[in-house]
Structure 1
Amino acid sequence: MSGLNIVQVKYLIVQPVLKYVGLGSDAAVNLLTGTTLVESQLTWLKQIHGPALGIAQMEPATHDDCWINFLKYKLDLANKTREACGISGQPDASLMVWNLRYAILMARIKYLRAPDPLPESTDAEALSMYHKKHYNTALGQAVASANISLFQQAIHA
């Protein structure tokens, strides 16, 4: 299966857009790059048997919840997100399919809502566990131990 190049995704999409909104730590860049590898294999823009969208495979309900219950109260971040992605108004979840910057920022915003601090940027196991706990959740199909190598790829990209 072919897809996007991980190095290009990390350095041309993830790192610049996170930096633009002030959320570009090394840990965040590696976490988000790894998340795209786990969730979409940098190939799928829509989940085959489900509603998830974009390279980070976020469900529309999660997207909407981020806007209604978080970004509504974080106007600076909401405005920076719109500006970074070239959008205005209340974005629709379908935007995550074709606007890669937007898909990354929405995934980062979901992680911002987690109570735990980000793991060390070079700890693939901790990044994988963090993804499972705070993004994929207990109900998701991801297996943290099986995804450590993907986070290792993200770190070394």
Structure 2
Amino acid sequence: MIGQHNGNRLPIDISVNQDQQCSFNTTECTDDCGPLGHQTDEWDCPISCECKSSGFIEGDIKFDKQNIQLIKKAYGIPSTIKARGATSLNIDLWTNRVNGRVKVPFVMRNDTSNKSETAIYEAVAAISGSTCIDFINRTTEVDFIEVIPGTGCWSYVGIE
């Protein structure tokens, strides 16, 4: 079988038993792992009542031991509020506004390539041109976005 990773074609050896049935039942676990989920095996079947200590939520939110409590807190919002979304509740996640435009501080790590840096600046200019969001260079702001070189499309929720 041939797969792709970072645009490169790679041979992949996959042995999957399509009749695989998960035998561990998490309904009797006392620890509510919420969006983290329970420890799983290579087929994503639960294997214990312990919560995962790293992984992804919703496909693009990365978590590890440092931000588990933050994620549990963020996902502990009552489902009726989550269903309506932060924007309809008028919750300001970025509070710096000037003339109705939201200012979001960001910084790029020094090891970001010139090509990537150019693409990022073009993207933030496009976003600023078609929305009420302005990305500004971070100075002393506590809350900010850090752009780091890497693979994939994900971010941490934040660190407490």
TM-score w.r.t. the length of structure 2 is 0.27
Structure (1 or 2) with the larger CA radius of gyration: 2
User: What's the TM-score, normalizing by structure 1?
Assistant: 0.28
Structure possessing the higher relative contact order (Cα contacts under 8 Å, 6 or more residues apart): 1
User: Where is the helix percentage greater, Structure 1 or Structure 2?
Assistant: 1
